Structure 1
Amino acid sequence: MSEREWEFAERVGRVEPSATVAVGNKASKLKEQGVDVVDLSVGEPDFPTPARIRETGRQAIADGHTTYTSSNGIPKLREAVSKCLKGKGVPCGPENVVVTPGAKQALFETMQALVDEGDEVVLLDPAWVSYEAIAKIAGADLTRVDLGQHGFALEPALDDLAAAVSDETTMLVVNSPSNPTGAVFSADAMKGVRDLAVEHDVTVVADEIYDRITYDAEALSLASFDGMAERTVTINGFSKAYSMTGWRLGYLAAPEPLIEQVSKVHSHSVTCAANFVQHAGVEALQSVETEVAEMVAAFEQRREIVVDLLADQGKMIPKPEGAFYAMIPTDEGPTDDMEWCDRAIEDAHVAAVPGSAFNAPGYARISYAASEERLKDGFARLANEDLI
């Protein structure tokens, strides 16, 4: 085939490939070569999807739920989502919900509906890798607030946030519990966000994908605070709490004027989430509390192992209060976190994600959504290579 010179859209050139996916691909390639890799890079529970969810999905296929659905989602799922959000103090009806193929799609549609070229989007660093990419695809200019100097907590950084947010700000993204830090923001921190959002009439995207996975703190919904329901887009999904990563199911909840506009993007891109998967989502919200509690208990135990293993090596980190990630300082080995992660996978055969991917240089993110045995093995390998 003859070669031709391609000209690509400027919006694609604004973004880099996902660093987390790149690390996962590198780990997969080594595994294909027969290398035993301890993969601590992936944000995926190592538990199977609960049996009742799997069975509901199978039955939904058998019952013929393999057609298109209404674009915004089947009524039963939107009703179940709204009931769940009401239980957290968020005023929400089924008409306020759009069901999407994964929470990432919900974020993408929200940005497309609200952000114009040159609009300011404020991120709290360290920030999940795709916030920047999705915002840049929408044409946003980014302003970043560093929480790293405050132990990844938001409350002591509220003055910094106040200096960043203005009447010119279009959107603020808040992720609690946080990927990559595991921080859970306090009620006072959320009130501080509320005060700034109301003062400057800013839309807040509340990414609550890890809200069911907490240990020492309660995950609060921003839309439940006075004055926030009319200016908050709540994004959540089923991948983490219900171990449904491959099912690709998420949702957003927002005021109806925004739902109307998001629905345009939704209908012209993905049409709808998979029919039978939506039925499985209803089952997830209604009947697997025991399985969720068991997973969270396991993650909490693994968190303790990670914190203790690091302490044994003289590395003290803020204890994650939610999600299943920890940020490891790389400054006592290679100062470059990219170099640290390259050495980790090449020499120790342990996969981790460079902190630079989250705008947090000097750290590496590890996921403890892996068995206790693999965690201990991975940290022993890192210690043997003088990486911790």
Structure 2
Amino acid sequence: MSLLVNSPNNPTGVVYSRETLEGIAHVCREHDLWLISDEVYDTQVWEGVHLSPRALPGMAERTLVIGSMSKSHAMTGSRCGWIVGPEEAIAHLVTLATHTTYGVPGFVQDAAVFALGEGREFEEEIAAPFRRRRDLAQRILAGQNAVRLSPAQGAMYLMLDIRATGLSGDAFANALLDAHHIAVMPGESFGRAASGHIRVAMTIGDDAFAHALRTLCHFATQLASERSSRRTPSDPTVPH
């Protein structure tokens, strides 16, 4: 049996606190679970500190840490990454990888070696635009009431609460695409808990990103206003 966690998180951008990770570790030890820790966004932390659960007491022998060049070095699509864990478990994973992927192409390995050799400064250079756009988004979203931002502490995404519009994430995403040709991911794609939300990727240029986000907010404000005007005094959602 295993448990999968992802911090910094996709789609919310939340960075798990030490307290949260210690709670997860306790459950894993208590119930003899393996922990799979997806840490591909560990170079994109805007608030708090990234802590790998593998570093917690009693967790090195039951934790598999997943890393990737895709996010830290902007090598999306190259499919080059790694898993850190107990030697015996890794031996089985090597066998699995041999039979499923047949290895990573040589030119991708060469690119990965070069990128890793550039050091921490290069990782920070790759992460900088996402930090900048996250700060930009916070300023834009602070100026309205129809869209609420979930804590964006890491990664390259924003999770936005659009329930004030009265639409589901699916319906809002489709309406926004039809009206303004702006594509977002419905929260329902990530499970029932994310219904009424949308995920926004901060992967386009600053100006285009700011324009799209302002348009999204204006669109949501219009929908929320229309919803409010349709309510009647007998509507239980309207305060008396």
TM-score range, shorter chain: 0.7 to 0.9
Shift of 1:384: 4.1
Q: 1:369 aligns with which of 171, 179, 203?
A: 203
Q: What amino acid maps onto 2:180 in structure 1?
A: A
Q: Is the 8 A contact 2:157 2:200 kept in 1?
A: yes
TM-score (norm 1): 0.54
Please give the secondary structure, in 2, of the residue aligned with 1:339: helix
Please give the secondary structure, in 2, of the residue aligned with 1:239: helix
CA RMSD of aligned residues (A): 1.6
Match of 1:280 in 2: 111
Cα distance in 2 for partners of 1:195, 1:223 equals: 12
Cα distance in 2 for partners of 1:174, 1:266 equals: 21
Segment drifting more, 276-285 vs 348-357: 276-285
Segment drifting more, 273-282 vs 321-330: 273-282
Match of 2:152 in 1: 320
Q: 1:289 aligns with which of 101, 106, 120?
A: 120
Cα distance in 2 for partners of 1:249, 1:227 equals: 29
Cα distance in 2 for partners of 1:358, 1:254 equals: 27
The percentage of aligned residue pairs carrying the same residue is 31
Q: What amino acid maps onto 2:95 in structure 1?
A: K
1:180 aligns with 2:11: yes
Q: 1:351 aligns with which of 183, 187, 211?
A: 183
Residues 231/352 of structure 1: CA separation in 2 closer, same or farther (3 Å cut): same
Residues 384/188 of structure 1: CA separation in 2 closer, same or farther (3 Å cut): closer
Match of 1:331 in 2: 163
Q: What amino acid maps onto 1:362 in structure 2?
A: G
Shift of 1:368: 1.3
Residues 383/221 of structure 1: CA separation in 2 closer, same or farther (3 Å cut): closer
Q: Is the 8 A contact 1:175 1:207 kept in 2?
A: yes
Runs of 4 or more off by more than 3 Å in structure 1? none
Match of 2:101 in 1: 270
Alignment of 1:15-164 (within 5 A): none
Superposed CA deviations along residues 332-376 of structure 1, whole A, max 9, x for unmatched, are: 114211000001111111100000011111100001122220112
Match of 2:216 in 1: 382
Q: What amino acid maps onto 2:170 in structure 1?
A: M
Q: How many residues align?
A: 219
In structure 2, runs of 5+ residues without a counterpart are 225-240
TM-score (norm 2): 0.86
Q: Is the 8 A contact 1:344 1:387 kept in 2?
A: no
Superposed CA deviations along residues 31-72 of structure 1, whole A, max 9, x for unmatched, are: xxxxxxxxxxxxxxxxxxxxxxxxxxxxxxxxxxxxxxxxxx
